[in-house]
Structure 1
Amino acid sequence: MGRVRIVKPRALARGVRVCLILLVVSILPLSLPEPAAARDLSDPQDFFGIVGRDPWYEYNTNPEKFPNDVNRTFLDNLHAGMAEMGARWVRVEFHAEYDEPVGPGRIDWAKHDWYFLDSAPRYGLKTLAVLGTGIVADLDKTYQFKHINDKPDSDGRNLYSRTYVQRVHEILDHYGDAIEAYEILNEPNANQLLHWETNGREKAVNPDIYGQIVTDIYTNEKAAHPSVQFIAGSLLHDHDVQNGRDEHFEWMRKVYESPAVKRYVKEHGRYPWDGISIHPYYLNPTQLLAHMEELRSLQESYGDTTPIWVTEIGWPAEPPEWTSFGIMDPTASEQEQADYLYAVYTTLRDQAPYVERVFWFKYEDFGGGGTYANWGLVRLRDSSQRYGPDATPWPRKPAFSVYQSLARPDRAPTAPVPPPPDIGERVRYFPETGHTLRDPFLRYWEQYGGLAMFGFPKTEVFYVQGRAVQYFERARFEYFPEFRGTPYEVQFGLLGRYVTRGREFPAEPPPEKEEPGRRYFPETGHYISFGFKDYWEKNGGLAMFGYPISGEITENGRTVQYFERARFEWHPENKGTPYEVLLGHLGNQVLSTSGWYR
C-alpha cells in the first residue's frame, strides 16, 4: 500500500481551493496513563486557541458599509463569538498583494491593522499570526514558493529565503509587540503549494534552508521583541503507510541537525524558537497522546525544552437543516465532533503538560454558493440563511458548547450570574436560579402571569439566528424588534412543536354541530375543551400558545394537551384554584437536550 496523504481544506492567497479529502477514523475509547503534572499557566484559559478567518479575505466584501476596508461587522461578529466561547488565542494568516508585476509584492497594512490592533484585543484575544507562503507574492514568478528550495549560497540562503526573512522583519517592525506570537511558515514538511508548483516533485522545504530561516528570524527579531513568541514547525502529520514511518518527525530531526540551528545552539545554549507546532489530524485521542509523547521525546533527544503548540486540529461536522422552531438535534457527525473536541482538549490538558496551547480548526464553516467545508464550530448565516456579509454565528454546533464548557463555563447562558449592579425597577434578579430578567422580557413576564405562568428564568438572554431569546421553566421568550410597540414584540418559542417532533396525533373529525364548551380548529384538526379551553382563552389564546397540535392525552398519569408553544396540564388536586391548569415545564425539558443552544 502506498503513502496516504491527508490534505485539510484551506484557502490559499493565490485563490486556489484545496480539495478536501476526508479520512474517517473511529474515535476509540481512551486508554491513558496516570495524569502528568499540571502545566504552570497563570491563566488556564491561555490553553485555548481557535483558527479564525484571515482579514485579508474580508477586504471590500461589504462595500456598502465598509468601502475599501475590511468588513468590520463580520469580523467583529467572529471575535465576539470566539470570546463568548472562551478562546484566548486566534490564529490567522498574513497575505501580501498580488498586483505588482515585478518584485515580491507588499503588505497592505489597511487589510490587517484594524484586525490586529483594534478588534482582536478589544475582545481579549491574543493573536498567533501565521507567516505563511502568502507573505511573499508571486505575480513575479521569481518569487514563486518553489524557489524556497533553490540551491543556497555559501551562507545557506537563497533569494527566496532572504526575501521571506526581510518580509518578516517588515511585519515585526510595523506591529512591534502588538501581535503576541508568530508561526514560521505553515506545514513546511508537507506543503501543498510546493507540491503543486513543482508538479509533485517536491513537498517539503529543505530542512537546512528552513533551519537557516528560523535562525535568521530569531537572531534578527527576538532581542528587539523579547515578549513576542516565535513558533517553528507547523508540522503536518505525514505518515508513510508503506514503511510505517512518521516523515514529519524525520523532517524535524533534520532541522535540528541543520548547520544554522546547530551553530545557534552552540553559540547561545538554546534553540532559535520559543516553541514547536504540529497539526496532528486524524488521530484518535489515544494515538494523539502517544504522538505528542513521541514529539516530546524527539525534542528532549536534542535538549529542546520549548513547549509544543498544537496549532491546528479538528473534525468536520455537518449541522442539520434549519427548522422553524430554531432548535435542532445534533447530527451524528456533530456528536462525533463534540466528543472528539472534548477528548482532544481534556487529554492534552490533563496528560501532556508540555503542550502549551491547542488551536481548534476552525471557528466557522467556510465556503460559498451553498457549499461548505464543515470543520467549524458554527455556521455563519444571515437572515436569509446564507453566508452573508454580516452573517452571525448560527447555528452553533454542540462542539461550541463543549469548547465553552471547558474554556469559559461561566459564559454559557445557563451559568448563574451574580446580582447585577444596576438592579432597579425594570431589572429583577432571581437568586433561586441565579438569573436576571429585564425589559422587554420582564414586562411581558409580569403582564401575562409571572411566576405562576412561566416559572423562573433558567438562562440569561442569548441569541439564536440573531434574535434575543431567554428560557424559563415553562417557556422560551423570543424578541421581535420589528414588532416593537405591538402585542407581538415578545413571543413564545415553538417548544410544543419541538418536544413533539416525530410524534403523530391523528386529526379529529370536525363536529356536526357546535358543541358547548368545545372549540374545533380546522387548521390542525384538534379540539380544545372545557378547562383547557377556558385557560387558553383567558391567558392569551392563539397569540400566546398557538394552535392545538394534539387532542387531550394521558402522559405519566396526567391529562395533557400540546399546543405549538406550550403543554397544558390538568391538576385536579388544585381544583377550584387558579392552578387547576398549568403549563408543563417545556423550558426545562428542552434545556435538557443538546439542541437548545443553537
Structure 2
Amino acid sequence: MRRFLLALLALLLVPGAGSASAAPSRQERTTAIFFRETQNWVAPPFYDFWSGNGGLPIFGYPLAPTDLMTSPDDGKVYATQIFERNRLEYHPENPEPYRVQLGRLGVEVLQKQGRNWQDFPKGEPKSGCDFFPETGHTLCEPFRSYWRRYGLDLNMRGVARAESIALFGLPISEPMMETNADGATVLTQWFERARFEYHPNNPPQYRVLLGLLGKELYGPYRPGAASVSGKVNAILRNKETIEAGVDDGPFWETVNRSSSGMRISKASLWIRGPFYPPDHPLFGVANDWFGTSVIL
C-alpha cells in the first residue's frame, strides 16, 4: 500500500481520447498532478509552468486551490495559486511564455516583517561575484552557482541571466546570518522573488534551499475540493479490482480499506473534467477526460 501512496504522490494525468475506457498514450504529455500531502491539484494553466521551471524544489507543494486574488504588484485581480515558495498568477492577456507570472514574495515577506530592503547595506563589485547595479548588491558563493543554475524557460540558450532574474529576481540584500521561520540560524540572502538559505550540514545537493515564503505569507495548507469526477482503479496481486470515486473524499483511504493490506500491482486513474466549476475564472481551461496507469 505504501508504494501505491507514493505513486499517487506523483500521479500524472495525461489527456485521454474522449472516453473513460480509452488507454492513455505514452506520447501524450502530462497536464496535471494531485498531491495527497496538501490534497490540492496543480492543473492547467499552472502545471506546465510549475513542472517546466523546477517543480517541487523551486515552487514547493500547492498550498491551496486556484482562486481569484488581487495582485500586490498592480492591484488587479487574477486567477492565482499559492505554493510553498511562491505565488503563480494567470495573465491571459499576455503572450506565451508570459501568461503565468510569479509574485515578488521576497519583497512582500520583508514588508510583512516591517523591513525595507532598500535600507540594507549595499555591496561592492569584487572578483568571483556578480554585481547588480540595479539594486547595488552582489551575488557570490555559496548562492551564485544555484542562482545561475535555474531560470524560467524563456526560449533562450542554456540558462540565460535574464531567465534567472525572471525566476528569482535581483538580489535585494547581501548575505547575512538570519533565523528562519523554522528557528534555524543560517546564512541568508534575499531576492525579489526568493530567499536563499545555506545549510552546510546538509548533503551537497541540499545545502542551498529556498525559503518557504508562500507559507510564511499565506499561512498553512488549505485542502482544495477537486472539481472533477472519475474513479481510481487498483488491481491487486490476486487480480481483484477495487474502485474508489475521486470526488468521494480521499480515494486512497478507500482503496486502503478495501485492499486489506494486499499488495497492489497496478493502479489507474480516470478523471473527467472540468477541473474548475462553472463559476470559476478558469472554467473551460481543462474539460476533457484525463487518465494514467501506474505499474507498482
Which bin holds the TM-score, normalised by the shorter protein?
A: 0.5 to 0.7
Match of 1:582 among 199, 209, 230: 209
Amino acid at match of 1:585: L
Amino acid at match of 1:539: Y
Task: Tell me, in whole angstroms, the C-alpha distance in 2 between the residues paired with 1:433 and 1:592.
Answer: 13
The SS at the match of 2:47 is helix
Alignment of 1:354-503 (within 5 A): 424=14, 425-464=30-69, 465-486=76-97, 488-501=98-111, 502-503=114-115
Residue matched to 2:168: 545
Runs of 4+ residues deviating >3 angstroms: 422-425
**Structure 1 residue 423: deviation in Å?**
5.2
Amino acid at match of 2:106: G
Task: Tell me, in whole angstroms, the C-alpha distance in 1 between the residues paired with 2:54 and 2:86.
Answer: 12
Provide the alpha-carbon RMSD of the alignment.
Answer: 2.2
The SS at the match of 1:477 is strand
**Structure 1 residue 500: deviation in Å?**
0.7
Task: Tell me, in whole angstroms, the C-alpha distance in 1 between the residues paired with 2:203 and 2:122.
Answer: 28
Larger radius of gyration: 1
Residue matched to 1:554: 177
Task: Tell me, in whole angstroms, the C-alpha distance in 2 between the residues paired with 1:428 and 1:444.
Answer: 12
CA-to-partner distance for each residue in 1:73-117, whole Å, 9 max, x for gaps?
xxxxxxxxxxxxxxxxxxxxxxxxxxxxxxxxxxxxxxxxxxxxx
The SS at the match of 1:574 is coil
8 A contact 2:123–2:138 mirrored in 1: no
Residue matched to 1:528: 139
Give the TM-score, by structure 1 length: 0.27
The SS at the match of 1:481 is coil
The SS at the match of 1:515 is coil
Amino acid at match of 2:215: N
Unmatched 5+ residue regions in structure 2? Answer: 1-11, 15-29, 70-75, 152-163, 180-184, 221-296
8 A contact 2:123–2:174 mirrored in 1: no
Alignment of 1:198-213 (within 5 A): none
**Structure 1 residue 575: deviation in Å?**
4.2
Amino acid at match of 2:133: P
**Structure 1 residue 451: deviation in Å?**
1.4
**Structure 1 residue 525: deviation in Å?**
1.2
8 A contact 1:549–1:564 mirrored in 2: yes
Give the TM-score, by structure 2 length: 0.53
Task: Tell me, in whole angstroms, the C-alpha distance in 2 between the residues paired with 1:523 and 1:433.
Answer: 38
CA-to-partner distance for each residue in 1:324-371, whole Å, 9 max, x for gaps?
xxxxxxxxxxxxxxxxxxxxxxxxxxxxxxxxxxxxxxxxxxxxxxxx
Task: Tell me, in whole angstroms, the C-alpha distance in 2 between the residues paired with 1:429 and 1:558.
Answer: 32
Amino acid at match of 1:455: G
Unmatched 5+ residue regions in structure 1? Answer: 1-421, 594-598
Please tell me whether residue 568 in structure 1 is matched to residue 196 in structure 2. yes
8 A contact 2:122–2:173 mirrored in 1: no
The SS at the match of 2:81 is strand
Amino acid at match of 2:150: N
Task: Tell me, in whole angstroms, the C-alpha distance in 1 between the residues paired with 2:33 and 2:101.
Answer: 20
Amino acid at match of 1:490: V
Alignment of 1:116-127 (within 5 A): none
The SS at the match of 2:93 is helix
Task: Tell me, in whole angstroms, the C-alpha distance in 2 between the residues paired with 1:564 and 1:440.
Answer: 24
8 A contact 1:429–1:436 mirrored in 2: yes
Report % sequence identity.
Answer: 40
Amino acid at match of 1:499: V
CA-to-partner distance for each residue in 1:97-144, whole Å, 9 max, x for gaps?
xxxxxxxxxxxxxxxxxxxxxxxxxxxxxxxxxxxxxxxxxxxxxxxx
Number of aligned pairs?
168
Task: Tell me, in whole angstroms, the C-alpha distance in 1 between the residues paired with 2:141 and 2:122.
Answer: 17
8 A contact 1:571–1:582 mirrored in 2: yes
8 A contact 1:510–1:522 mirrored in 2: no
**Structure 1 residue 531: deviation in Å?**
2.5
Task: Tell me, in whole angstroms, the C-alpha distance in 1 between the residues paired with 2:177 and 2:124.
Answer: 22
Task: Tell me, in whole angstroms, the C-alpha distance in 2 between the residues paired with 1:461 and 1:472.
Answer: 10
Task: Tell me, in whole angstroms, the C-alpha distance in 2 between the residues paired with 1:592 and 1:492.
Answer: 18
The SS at the match of 1:453 is helix
CA-to-partner distance for each residue in 1:484-510, whole Å, 9 max, x for gaps?
322x32222111111111314434243
8 A contact 1:528–1:548 mirrored in 2: yes
